Amino acid sequence: MLTERQQHCLRGIGIQAWSQRADTLDNGPANRPVVEIAREAVPQAVENPVDSSPQEVAAENPVVRTPAPTSFDSWDSLIDAIHGCKACELGDNCTQKVPGVGDRQADLLIIGEGPGHDEDIRGEPFVGRSGQLLDRMLAAIGIAREQVYITNIVKCRPPNNRDPRQDEAQQCRAYLEAQIEQIAPKVILSVGRVSAHNLLGSNQPVGKLIQQMHKLPGTEIPLKVTYHPAYLLRNPSAKAIAWQDLKLLHQMLR
């Protein structure tokens, strides 16, 4: 701080003397803590921040899970139940449910694993490259797609096309059992590892299950295991084994 004499000298040569803000505003915001000023300006933003955490929002509005019904009055009530299902989280993220397609009185019931991307969009199982190969495989033994019924272990697409979890398959089990009961097929074709393991309650490799004769547990319905068409697209050498499966399947249906 300048003395009175220094200030007088400065005024004499035309220089204005400035005083520090703190000298004249002892109680102003310059001398107060920044946090204190911020609190006065936006007290709610500091003391009561808005919580937009997705997890907490979801917790406030949880999806009500309803187990699948165990009995159905008709085929239409079964399909309606599948479309309205909220038994597991698969239904929360899929585009639409994929109950199945085909002849509801078919001799052959084909059961795959779960809908993929194309099936999720179309609402119909086996419509992508795998489905096209499956159609050609059936045509090779004189069977048209329209003559069979095709469905999956689960009726909703698992995220990123991952395998359905055991709990998810279990939630869909009542729907699948009702479809089998309604269709009463002569033969079931189990397509792929997930399908075979869930239907047979087995964890043996598909290669071994293919070599064995099976019946759907709890029934007298013959069940044939074969490779999934997606596997055959990745491993063309396995098509020779699939062809033998198809010929045996044709004999089973006669």
Model pLDDT for residues 237-249, shown as the tens digit of each residue: 999 999 999 999 9
Whether the pLDDT of residue 100 is over 90: the answer is yes
Whole-angstrom distance, CA of residue 192 vs CA of residue 232: 10
Whether the pLDDT of residue 61 is over 80: the answer is no
Whether the pLDDT of residue 14 is over 70: the answer is no
Percent of the chain with pLDDT over 70: 73
Provide the pLDDT confidence category of residue 71 given band limits of 50, 70 and 90: confident
Provide the pLDDT confidence category of residue 93 given band limits of 50, 70 and 90: confident
**Between residues 132 and 45, which one has the greater pLDDT?**
132
Whole-angstrom distance, CA of residue 43 vs CA of residue 102: 64
* Residue entry with tokens 């001799």: 107
Residues near 248 by Cβ (< 8 Å), separated by ≥ 6? 224
- pTM (2 d.p.): 0.74
Whole-angstrom distance, CA of residue 87 vs CA of residue 162: 18
**Between residues 210 and 17, which one has the greater pLDDT?**
210
Starting at the edge strand found earlier in the chain, the sheet holding 214-215 runs 101-102, 149-152, 108-112, 187-191, 222-226, 214-215
Average pLDDT value for the chain: 84
Predicted local distance difference test score (pLDDT) of residue 23: 46
Percent of the chain with pLDDT over 90: 68
Whole-angstrom distance, CA of residue 68 vs CA of residue 179: 13
Q: Over range 199-225, report the average pLDDT.
A: 97
User: Dihedral of CA 238/244/250/253: which sign?
Assistant: negative
Whether the pLDDT of residue 200 is over 80: the answer is yes
CATH topology of domain 71-253: Uracil-DNA Glycosylase, subunit E (3.40.470)
Q: Over range 181-198, report the average pLDDT.
A: 97
HSE at residue 140, side-chain half, CA atoms within 13 A, is: 16
